[in-house]
Amino acid sequence: MGKNQHIEFSNFYASDADTTLYKQLLTAAEQANKKIEDEAKTDNKHLGWVTLPHDIDEAMLNQIEVIANRFQQTCDVVVVIGIGGSYLGTKAVIDALQPTPFQCSSNFPKIVYAGNNLSADYLSDLIDYIKEKQFGMVVVSKSGTTTEPAISFRILRQLLENKCGKEQAQKLIVTVTDSTQGALHTITNNEGYDTFPIAKNIGGRYSVLSPVGLVPIAMSGINIRELLQGARDAANNTSPQTETCNNIAVQYAAWRQAFYANGKKIEILANYNPKLNYISEWWKQLFAESEGKEHRGIFPTDAKFSTDLHSIGQWIQEGERTLFETVIQIKQANHSITIPFDENNIDGLNYLANKDIETVNTAACEGTMRAHASGDVPMLHFTLPTLSANHLGALLYTFERACAISGYMMGVNPFDQPGVEAYKKNLFHLLGKPGY
């Protein structure tokens, strides 16, 4: 059990064997966390994200806000082009925090996404949606050469230039990429686009709190300073200087490794709020790309409850016992909706009349956790007080830290992704790219 101003963490259910192993593994988790801190002081390759929330400077934040403001004044829609770590964190935060997901806000542009697939149908639908609107683009690619976003950018750039002319289009495109190399860097220089750098020592899946996420998140109207404040607090709360009884990242990593060593090969991240669905997508990438290598690693997947209680809920309750579950719960919803009294009561719901729907949601969460525990599913539990930028920033950072600790405990490099290259090579070969 650990607690700070943003997150409460506990193990809701674990077997005696898991608990014994967890206690033994805490020392290894502490050592891994210390290693991360020590290496972050000297390593120029992978650990830039460790101190990023503290390092990002005021000048950069101001610049991001100036560009975000310009896009807010001129665009009804912003297309964020990117894939993997260059898109999932942005979508995770915006989906979680945007106040008007079902409609366009009059103050802020609607954020849509491209470059994360190669579907002609998807892109065609997107083009139909944006072509008559005032739209701009944020193009995010660390390497600057990833095929999916590069193709989308080429197509959408031509659409924008044909619509409003090259000069006007130039003001409606901002890039986030390596500051010294890559095709996107070269295009940026040639065309004179506004641009933000991706630090060389921050990998895609650890980059949401860098300009990769902050630029489009700021455009959506979300307060990036609050997001960063939460992350800064989490950086302090998860450092080796925070005692282990309060260090959620250390505890979470130790529990994961205890379950894994005891045969639990699958981790399900469950939520009870659709606004968190892309937090799960981002989390899946973070853990899968960091740990899934050398024929090892916990398989990270997710459950969207209540929806999935009526599908994979059956498997969780009674299927093969090789999983554990990590639940994210929001204590206090931002809205309240009361279930009304109905004179006829044909649906039999009057026993819930005048109750808030979130009371029912909380009961569903508690009831499900108890049911899964009785089905022998080990269970971890994260609780945020509310869904706010502050708390979300803390959660994202805490997951990054726990992931790095967990990867080090497993003895893999949590910062590379050699397996992702295999499909790319085949794709290039099949398409006849020169040199493949």
What residues are labeled active site?
289, 310, 424
Listed ranges 81-89, 232-240, 379-387, 389-397: which one lies at the site for ligand PA5 (CB under 6 A): 81-89
Taking the complex as a whole, how short is the minimal distance between the CB of residue 143 and ligand PA5, in angstroms? 3
Using rule CB under 6 A, residue 175 touches ligand PA5: no
Taking the complex as a whole, how short is the minimal distance between the CB of residue 43 and ligand PA5, in angstroms? 17
**Helix-strand-coil percent breakdown of the chain, rounded to 5?**
55, 15, 30
- How far is it, in rounded angstroms, from Cα 294 to Cα 278? 27
Q: Which of 53, 84, 407, 414 binds ligand PA5 (CB under 6 A)?
A: 84
Using rule CB under 6 A, residue 407 touches ligand PA5: no
Helix (H, G, I), strand (E, B) or coil at 88: helix
Q: Which of 4, 33, 72, 86 binds ligand PA5 (CB under 6 A)?
A: 86
Q: Which of 75, 83, 114, 250 binds ligand PA5 (CB under 6 A)?
A: 83
Q: Which of 11, 33, 72, 141 binds ligand PA5 (CB under 6 A)?
A: 141
**Between 5 and 117, whose beta carbon lies closer to ligand PA5?**
117
Using rule CB under 6 A, residue 85 touches ligand PA5: yes
- The answer to whether residues 172 and 360 touch, using CB atoms and an 8 Å cutoff, is no
Show the DSSP H helices in 339-382 as ranges.
357-374
Using rule CB under 6 A, residue 142 touches ligand PA5: yes
- 335 phi and psi, to 5 degrees? -130, 165
DSSP summary character for residue 311: T
Using rule CB under 6 A, residue 143 touches ligand PA5: yes
Structure tokens at 106: 């009059």
Q: Which of 238, 239, 388, 417 binds ligand PA5 (CB under 6 A)?
A: 417
Burial (CB < 10 A; 0-12, 13-18, 19+), residue 231, is buried
Which strands sit side by side in the sheet containing 110-114, from one edge to the other? 110-114, 77-81, 135-141, 173-177, 194-197
Using rule CB under 6 A, residue 203 touches ligand PA5: yes
Helix (H, G, I), strand (E, B) or coil at 8: strand
Using rule CB under 6 A, residue 401 touches ligand PA5: no
DSSP string of 157-216, one letter each residue: HHHHHHHH-HHHHHHTEEEEE-SS-SHHHHHHHHHT-EEEE--TTS-GGG-TTSHHHHHH
Taking the complex as a whole, how short is the minimal distance between the CB of residue 151 and ligand PA5, in angstroms? 12
For residues 264-293, which are near ligand PA5 according to CB under 6 A? 289
Taking the complex as a whole, how short is the minimal distance between the CB of residue 3 and ligand PA5, in angstroms? 30
399 membership: H or E segment, kind and range: helix 389-410
Using rule CB under 6 A, residue 46 touches ligand PA5: no
Which stretches of the chain bind ligand PA5, using CB under 6 A? 83-86, 141-143, 146, 149, 203-205, 289, 417
